Amino acid sequence: MDVWDKFKQTVEQMQAQLTAKKNVLNSAAFRDASMAMCALVAAADGTVDPSETRRVAELIADNEALRDLDKNDLQRRFHDYIDVLRTGGHVGKATVLSDIAKVRGNEDEARAVVRIGVVIGGADGRFDPTERTAVREVCRMLGLARADFGL
What are the tens digits of pLDDT across the range 3-46? 445 545 554 555 555 554 555 567 889 889 999 999 999 888 88
Separation of first and last alpha carbons in the chain = 18
What span, in angstroms and rounded, lies between the C-alpha atoms of 45 and 130? 6
C-alpha angle 53/131/93, rounded to 5°?
Answer: 75
Q: Note the Cα 26 to chain centre separation in Å.
A: 15
Tens digits of residue pLDDT in 59-106: 777 777 677 778 888 889 999 999 999 887 788 899 999 999 999 999
Name which CATH class applies to 3-149. mainly alpha
Cβ–Cβ under 8 Å, residues 45 and 131 = yes
Dihedral, CA atoms, 3, 60, 136, 8, nearest 10 degrees? -10
Q: Which residue has the higher pLDDT, 53 or 107?
A: 107
Q: Which amino acid is it at 142?
A: L
Residue closest to 149 by CA, chosen among 101, 116, 123: 116
Query: Which residues 6+ apart lie within 8 Å of 102 measured at CB?
Result: 29, 32, 33
Q: What is the mean pLDDT of the chain?
A: 81
Predicted confidence at residue 8, as pLDDT, reads 54
Is the pTM of the predicted complex or chain greater than 0.95? no
